[in-house]
């Protein structure tokens, strides 16, 4: 089977292309034998195996082999001998003939060897006899558009055929041969250049204009003369170096000139001069006239161009023609006459005005044409006037050709030459009749405009421009009414005065008048005459040359309406429901943002469309039912359906339609609202599941579950827990409807029955706590929680609920409530409760103007007594002082221990003079008493500050005033009292020096951290460290926190200190974690930092820097600070938990208030107050308190830490009680951070 590949007939030229090929080849000055031999050798090596290159010889249609190559020299000689003896007629070589005819390669392969003889010349039979040829390839060799030879290749081997890559290689070699031949031909042409130069010089000597010899083949300038060089501005060598002489022409002219050159080259004759444009070297253009003729002796590839510059000539001709055209276009009659009066120019306007054609007037005296009888004298006067004055302008009586006379408005000017002599006259005339008529019409138009201007319904003003400003010169009746006549007083006023409130308007107006001639904008314009500011839509229109018309439309009401409508639309867009408004035809008029999200159509798509069409395109279930409901046009109605949203989610939707009526009750449209009810259905499902769980849990609850009827009705159901709680069986309880009422505690019965009756009447829930008598007579506290279900259709209602035994909780809460209000050491009111009492007293003083005083009492040198004799002695002294004060005060006065050695007294209805007497008595009582502490007699004194309550003061303010007075008493020498006065604030400046020192320590990093270990009582290992703060004083001494923290609190610096400590703690945690020895640290925070969200934000940033773990940081807050503001404390605890840090409640149990509030404040650690730990070995109450704290902490999954552990017995007791961690000097003393 054979497969032939070849091209069509295009480009080959057939056998006619072989006409005279030997001559064509002979013209090319190159060693053909060497060229073809090298090509054949390259093809044999690259493509192989046999390569023959044959050229068309002198005999037409015959091939002459010029190169044979084969890897075997014997095979090469065999083929050369066979080809030399053969007559290589293409007719006997079909494949070669096809390649020559088509000009395309021909490939044949997959043909048995015997069959190849049918398609090749028989002379090659010996070669085919010796070699198994599998593929043949013939490629034509072309030069100058003609086929001059052929490359033939044969590939040997049964499995080897030529590929497309092989064919590309052969074609590339053939193209290279053709390119070499063409280059050699061009070299030959250059040799003839010298012969042509002589003929060019001969032609150049005969011509006076620019001469250029153009090579039409190469498009180059072969030669130019000096005139052509000067004309173009190029040097001679620059012109000859141009890639094409077409570079001297404008780009837009090149295509046309190329076509002209082709036509002239084919004609071979000289052309007449033709206009053209040349581009000089400097970019300027000149107009030329070009003649082209063939160069004598040349075959047509070269021509001589004769170039003459005609720029000035053409410009003059155009100018004269333009002037004539312009004058002919003028409507007026324009004529010119010589000094002797003969006409030399007569335009078309003159023809129309006078009736003479130009031919009739030229050369004739002007006076014979246009002057009426007796006009000679007037003509002479005009001549003299124009000669002397240079011109005349005015009306003249003139005559037409038909003899009629008319009045013309004329202007005559004398024309003088360069020497000043008179060269003639130019006259311009128009028919004055039309001019007069036009003037009258203009006046009528002005009157009409004036009437229209005055009657315009929009206020309109006329301004005249004066420099950079505008002056009000007129206004219409609407403007007068709009301003209530005030505008009349403003005539002559400048726009800068009228728009003084917004000077930018004038700048915009000036720019707009130049750019577009108009300006539109809205302004808020104050109108003092009516006391209002109006919104005006201003339109300024420029009326040249210097007038501006101003329209001022009052759009105040319209803009208010638009604002209101935009506000309403914005409200609807913010509604979390799809809101759609329709007209009576069902066309959508409003489509809010939520509707776009619901239904997937934009507002632009929906508004104006039919609601039925949109619903038909929405993916909803029960579409037909929905369309039917919409189509009724009735309302209101409501429906639920499933909707597939644009994001693919299927949601349940509730839709409701309502009718909108006009003021007359007629229907003007409809409004539909659709909402996603997914959440509602989820809630309903949760309720259903909750009911199932409720039924499951009822029988397992540690409470009585019941169902009872209203009023005296029987109990329908009572769970078995009633027997264990109250001693009655369920049957006994259900059998006696009055049993529950009869067992209510007498003090609670009326309240409970009233609450249940109210709930049964109004429905809802019952939540009430009360006492009930058990069958044994014991009083039990219960929590009654129930839901009331009203009856329907005459059925009685029911109550379903729980009765929970809270007897133990009530007893504990009663104790906790006492502890929450009282100091654990003295039994007096604590600080929190005292502030409550003080606040009530301040409010009472404000309402009733009754006096009251606060006393602040501080034991002098108590710290020395406490440190030298021990904490037990100190506690004994505190209790003794509390007893002394309590005995000396009136029964109605309030005594409190604020903390440490500070006491406060609230004297009700007492003024400062009486308070002084009371304070003196207290001081005297304290002086007289001798206290036996640790076997030693001790005398004590105290300092007292007195502050009278101010009606407008806060409780904290009154206490602070008493505190200032107390510090004043201490400053004055102790054992005395001081009454607060405003000037004490000035003396308090001394304390501010502490604040300055604290600020300096913050700025200069003079704070230092110590660590005290906290050990795990189960393992004895260090579980964490508490960071303790010290300050470097001015003398570089260490200042303990008790010395500077109170001042930091007073001067609001404690939060900055807290932030510094937190930052240092996070840095320490991160540093230790990087070093491979993680550490957990606890940091004490002030109460103020609990209410400061900035602290937790600061902490979050510090933690985000890494690598510290939040779980390694414990934040400690004092229980007094936490319980003072529970909402604040709870918020702080939640923020700490979100950060991942731990929270510890410090000094837990110090006032027992934390017992009560613990259930509202989730913490990780309870730090037992040291007051209970110091004397744990001997104090039974302290032991019970510690045990209670441990049990309480265990019930809420909280760890306990005991502080102030001073000896081994205490350590062991704490371990026995189940305390988790211990801290104190016995466990480990504080050390610098660097030492751990």
Query: How far apart are the C-alpha atoms of 428 and 498, rounded to whole Å?
Result: 48
**CB–CB of 433/407 below 8 Å?**
yes
**Domain 699-805: assigned CATH number:** 3.30.450.20
Query: How far apart are the C-alpha atoms of 586 and 561, rounded to whole Å?
Result: 26
Query: How far apart are the C-alpha atoms of 885 and 122, rounded to whole Å?
Result: 148
Q: Which of 600, 572, 598, 622 is nearest to 630 (CA)?
A: 622
Computed on alpha carbons and rounded to an integer, the radius of gyration of the chain in Å comes to 60
**CB–CB of 1190/1159 below 8 Å?**
no
Query: How far apart are the C-alpha atoms of 1133 and 1136, rounded to whole Å?
Result: 5
Q: Which CATH class is domain 196-309?
A: alpha beta
Q: Which helix H or strand E contains 280, and what residues bound it? A: none
Q: 928 φ, ψ to 5°?
A: -70, -30
Model pLDDT, residue 1019: 94
Please give the C-alpha separations between residue 612 and each of 606, 634, 655, in angstroms, as whole numbers: 11, 14, 15
Model pLDDT, residue 703: 87
Query: Is the omega angle on the peptide bond into residue 545 within 30 degrees of 0, that is, cis?
Result: yes
**CB–CB of 337/344 below 8 Å?**
yes
Model pLDDT, residue 605: 87
Query: How far apart are the C-alpha atoms of 335 and 362, rounded to whole Å?
Result: 10
Place domain 3-189 in its CATH homologous superfamily.
GAF domain (3.30.450.40)
Q: Which long-range contacts (CB under 8 A, 24 or more apart) does 188-197 make?
A: 188/27, 188/28, 188/29, 193/222, 195/297, 196/222, 196/295, 196/297, 196/298, 196/302, 197/223
Model pLDDT, residue 323: 54
- Extract the tokens encoding 783: 């929590």
Q: 792 φ, ψ to 5°?
A: -130, 150
**Domain 333-436: assigned CATH number:** 3.30.450.20
Instruction: Give pLDDT < 50 ranges for the chain.
Output: 1-19, 190, 194-208, 320
**Domain 559-681: assigned CATH number:** 3.30.450.20
- Sorted by sequence, the CB contacts under 8 Å of residue 223 that are 6+ apart come out as 197, 200, 204, 211, 212, 213, 240
Per-residue pLDDT reduced to its tens digit, 389-403: 888 988 888 999 998
Q: Which of 305, 302, 267 is nearest to 289 (CA)?
A: 305
Model pLDDT, residue 702: 83
Alpha carbon 349 to chain centroid, angstroms: 69
Domain range list for the chain: 3-189, 196-309, 333-436, 456-554, 559-681, 699-805, 813-987, 993-1235
Q: Which of 545, 557, 537 is nearest to 460 (CA)?
A: 537
Q: 931 φ, ψ to 5°?
A: -105, 130
Query: How far apart are the C-alpha atoms of 481 and 487, rounded to whole Å?
Result: 9
What b-and-e string marks burial along 407-421, b requiring 16 or more CB atoms within 10 Å of the CB?
A: ebbbebbbeeeeeee
> Three-class SS string for 1091-1133?
CCHHHHHHHHHHHHCCCCCHHHEEEEEEHHHHHHCHHHHHHHH
Torsion region of 974: left, alpha or beta (phi above 0 gives left; psi -120 to 50 gives alpha): left
Sign of the Cα torsion 841, 847, 853, 858 reads positive
Model pLDDT, residue 851: 81
Q: 1006 φ, ψ to 5°?
A: -100, 10
856 bridge partner residues: 904, 945
Model pLDDT, residue 11: 38
Model pLDDT, residue 637: 73
Place domain 456-554 in its CATH homologous superfamily.
PAS domain (3.30.450.20)
Per-residue pLDDT reduced to its tens digit, 1145-1179: 988 876 555 565 677 778 999 999 888 999 898 88
Model pLDDT, residue 565: 66
- Extract the tokens encoding 274: 């033709």
Reduced to 3 states (helix: H, G, I; strand: E, B; else coil), residue 468 is coil
Model pLDDT, residue 298: 54
Q: Which of 401, 335, 412 is nearest to 368 (CA)?
A: 401
519 bridge partner residues: 540
DSSP 92: G
Reduced to 3 states (helix: H, G, I; strand: E, B; else coil), residue 267 is helix
How far from each other are the two terminal CA atoms of the chain, in whole angstroms?
98
With 0-12 CB in 10 A as exposed, 13-18 as middle and 19+ as buried, what is 86?
Answer: middle
Sign of the Cα torsion 498, 502, 506, 508 reads negative
Reduced to 3 states (helix: H, G, I; strand: E, B; else coil), residue 514 is helix
Reduced to 3 states (helix: H, G, I; strand: E, B; else coil), residue 939 is strand
Alpha carbon 253 to chain centroid, angstroms: 53
Query: How far apart are the C-alpha atoms of 1156 and 1122, rounded to whole Å?
Result: 12
Asked whether this chain's domains 3-189 and 813-987 adopt the same fold, the reply is no
Sign of the Cα torsion 243, 249, 250, 255 reads negative
Torsion of CA 450, 454, 460, 465, to 10 degrees: 30
Strands (E), 1033-1100: 1038-1039, 1081-1085
Looking at domain 813-987, which of 1.10.12.10, 3.30.70.270, 2.70.70.10, 3.40.50.2300 is its CATH number?
3.30.70.270
**Which CATH architecture does the domain made up of 993-1235 adopt?**
Alpha-Beta Barrel (3.20)
Q: Any alpha helices (H) in 933-1035, and if so which ranges?
A: 955-971, 984-987, 989-1003
**CB–CB of 374/419 below 8 Å?**
no
| Most distant CA atoms of the chain, gap in Å | 161
Query: How far apart are the C-alpha atoms of 974 and 944, rounded to whole Å?
Result: 9
């Amino acid at each position: 089977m054979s497969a032939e590949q070849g091209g069509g007939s295009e480009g080959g030229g057939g056998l006619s292309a072989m006409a005279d090929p030997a001559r064509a080849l002979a013209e090319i000055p190159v060693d053909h034998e060497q060229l073809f031999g090298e090509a054949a050798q390259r093809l044999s090596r690259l493509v192989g195996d046999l390569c023959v290159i044959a050229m068309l010889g002198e005999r037409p249609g015959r091939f002459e082999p010029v190169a044979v190559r084969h890897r075997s020299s014997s095979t090469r000689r065999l083929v050369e001998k066979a080809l030399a003896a053969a007559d290589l007629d293409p007719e006997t070589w079909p494949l070669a003939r096809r390649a020559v005819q088509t000009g395309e390669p021909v490939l044949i392969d997959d043909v048995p060897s015997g069959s190849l003889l049918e398609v090749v010349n028989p002379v090659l039979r010996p070669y085919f006899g010796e070699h198994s040829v599998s593929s043949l390839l013939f490629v034509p060799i072309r030069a100058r558009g003609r086929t001059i030879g052929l490359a033939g290749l044969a590939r040997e081997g049964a499995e080897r055929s030529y590929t497309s890559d092989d064919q590309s290689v052969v074609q590339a070699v053939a193209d290279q041969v053709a390119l070499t031949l063409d280059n050699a031909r061009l070299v030959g042409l250059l040799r003839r250049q010298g012969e042509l130069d002589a003929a060019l010089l001969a032609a150049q000597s005969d011509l006076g204009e620019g001469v250029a010899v153009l090579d039409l083949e190469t498009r180059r300038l072969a030669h130019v003369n000096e005139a052509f060089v000067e004309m173009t501005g190029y040097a001679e060598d620059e012109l000859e170096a141009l890639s094409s002489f077409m570079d001297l022409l404008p780009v837009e002219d090149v295509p046309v000139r190329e076509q002209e050159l082709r036509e002239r080259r084919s004609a071979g004759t000289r052309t007449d001069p033709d206009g053209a444009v040349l581009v000089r070297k400097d970019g300027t253009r000149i107009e030329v006239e070009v003649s082209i003729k063939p160069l004598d002796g040349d075959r047509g590839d070269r021509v001589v161009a004769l170039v003459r510059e005609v720029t000035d000539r053409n410009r003059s001709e155009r100018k004269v023609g333009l002037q004539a055209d312009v004058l002919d276009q003028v409507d007026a009659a324009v004529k010119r006459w010589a000094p002797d009066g003969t006409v030399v120019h007569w335009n078309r306007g003159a023809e129309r005005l006078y009736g003479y054609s130009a031919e009739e007037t030229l050369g004739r005296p002007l006076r014979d044409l246009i002057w009426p009888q007796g006009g000679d004298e007037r003509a002479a006067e005009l001549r003299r006037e124009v000669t002397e004055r240079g011109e005349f302008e005015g009306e003249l009586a003139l005559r037409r050709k038909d003899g009629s006379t008319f009045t013309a408005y004329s202007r005559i000017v004398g024309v003088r030459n360069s020497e000043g002599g008179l060269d003639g006259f130019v006259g311009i005339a128009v028919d004055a009749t039309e001019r007069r008529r036009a003037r009258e019409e203009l006046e009528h138009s002005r009157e009409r405009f004036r009437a229209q201007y005055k009657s315009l319904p929009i206020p309109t003003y006329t301004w005249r421009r004066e420099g950079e400003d505008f002056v009000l010169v007129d206004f219409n009746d609407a403007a007068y009414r709009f301003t209530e006549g005030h505008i009349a007083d403003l005539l002559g006023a400048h726009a800068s005065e009228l728009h003084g409130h917004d000077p930018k308007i004038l700048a915009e107006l000036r720019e707009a008048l130049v750019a577009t001639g108009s300006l539109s904008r809205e302004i808020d314009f104050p109108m003092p005459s009516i006391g209002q500011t109006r919104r005006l839509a201003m339109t300024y229109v420029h009326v040249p040359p210097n007038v501006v018309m101003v329209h001022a439309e009052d759009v105040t009401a319209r803009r208010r309406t638009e604002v209101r409508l935009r506000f309403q639309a914005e409200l609807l867009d913010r509604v979390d429901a799809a809101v759609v408004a329709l007209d009576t035809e069902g066309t959508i008029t409003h489509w809010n943002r939520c509707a776009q999200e619901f239904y997937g159509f934009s507002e632009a798509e929906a508004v104006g469309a039919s609601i039925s069409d949109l619903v038909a395109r929405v993916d909803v279930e029960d579409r037909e039912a929905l369309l039917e409901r919409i189509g009724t046009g009735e309302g209101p109605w409501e429906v639920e359906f499933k909707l597939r949203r644009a994001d693919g989610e299927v949601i349940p939707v509730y839709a409701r339609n309502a009718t909108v009526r006009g003021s007359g009750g007629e229907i003007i449209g409809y409004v539909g609202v659709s909402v996603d009810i997914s959440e509602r259905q989820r809630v309903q499902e949760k309720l259903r599941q909750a009911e199932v769980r409720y039924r499951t849990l009822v029988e397992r609850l540690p409470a009585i579950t019941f169902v009872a009827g209203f009023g005296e009705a029987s109990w329908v159901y009572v769970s078995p827990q009633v027997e264990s709680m109250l001693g009655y069986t369920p049957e006994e309880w259900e059998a006696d409807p009055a049993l529950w009422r009869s067992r209510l505690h007498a003090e609670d019965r009326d309240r409970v029955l009233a609450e249940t009756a109210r709930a049964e009447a109004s429905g809802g829930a019952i939540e009430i706590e009360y006492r009930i008598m058990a069958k044994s007579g014991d009083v039990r506290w219960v929590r009654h929680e129930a839901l009331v279900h009203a009856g329907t259709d005459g059925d009685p209602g029911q109550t379903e609920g729980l009765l929970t035994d809270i007897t133990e909780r009530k007893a504990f809460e009663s104790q906790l409530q006492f502890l929450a209000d009282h100091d654990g050491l003295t039994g007096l009111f604590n600080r929190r409760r005292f502030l409550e009492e003080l606040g009530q007293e301040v409010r009472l003083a404000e309402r009733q103007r009754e006096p009251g005083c606060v006393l602040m009492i501080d034991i002098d040198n108590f710290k020395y007594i406490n440190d030298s004799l021990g904490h037990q002695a100190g506690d004994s002294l505190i209790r003794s002082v509390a007893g002394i004060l309590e005995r000396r005060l009136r029964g109605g006065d309030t005594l409190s221990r604020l903390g440490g050695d500070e006491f406060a007294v609230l004297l009700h209805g007492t003024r400062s003079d009486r308070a002084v007497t009371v304070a003196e008595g207290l001081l005297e009582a304290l002086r007289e008493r001798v206290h036996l502490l640790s076997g030693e007699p001790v005398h004590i004194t105290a300092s007292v500050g007195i502050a009278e309550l101010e009606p407008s003061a806060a409780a904290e303010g009154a206490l602070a005033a008493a505190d200032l007075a107390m510090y004043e008493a201490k400053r004055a020498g102790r054992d005395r009292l001081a009454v607060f006065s405003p000037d004490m604030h000035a003396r308090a400046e001394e304390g501010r020096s502490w604040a300055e020192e604290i600020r300096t320590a913050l700025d200069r990093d003079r704070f230092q951290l110590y660590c005290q270990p906290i050990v795990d009582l189960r393992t004895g290992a260090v579980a964490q460290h508490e960071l303790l703060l010290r300050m470097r004083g001015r003398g570089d001494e260490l200042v303990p926190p008790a010395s500077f923290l109170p001042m930091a609190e007073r001067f609001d610096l404690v939060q900055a200190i807290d932030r510094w400590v937190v930052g240092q703690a996070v840095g320490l945690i991160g540093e230790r974690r990087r070093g491979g020895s993680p550490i957990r640290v606890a940091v004490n925070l002030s109460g103020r930092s609990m209410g400061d969200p900035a602290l937790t934000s600061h902490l979050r940033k510090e933690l985000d820097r890494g690598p510290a773990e939040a779980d390694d940081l414990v934040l400690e807050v004092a229980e007094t600070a936490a319980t003072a503001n529970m909402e604040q404390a709870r918020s702080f605890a939640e923020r700490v938990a979100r950060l991942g840090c731990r929270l510890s409640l410090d000094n837990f149990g110090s006032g027992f208030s934390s017992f009560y509030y613990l259930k509202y404040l989730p913490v990780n650690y309870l730090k037992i107050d040291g007051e209970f730990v110091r004397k744990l070995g001997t104090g039974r109450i302290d032991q019970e308190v510690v045990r209670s704290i441990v049990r309480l902490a265990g019930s809420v999954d909280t760890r306990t830490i005991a502080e102030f552990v001073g000896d081994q017995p205490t350590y062991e007791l704490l371990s026995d009680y189940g305390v988790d961690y211990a801290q104190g000097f016995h466990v480990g003393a504080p050390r610098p951070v660097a030492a751990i």
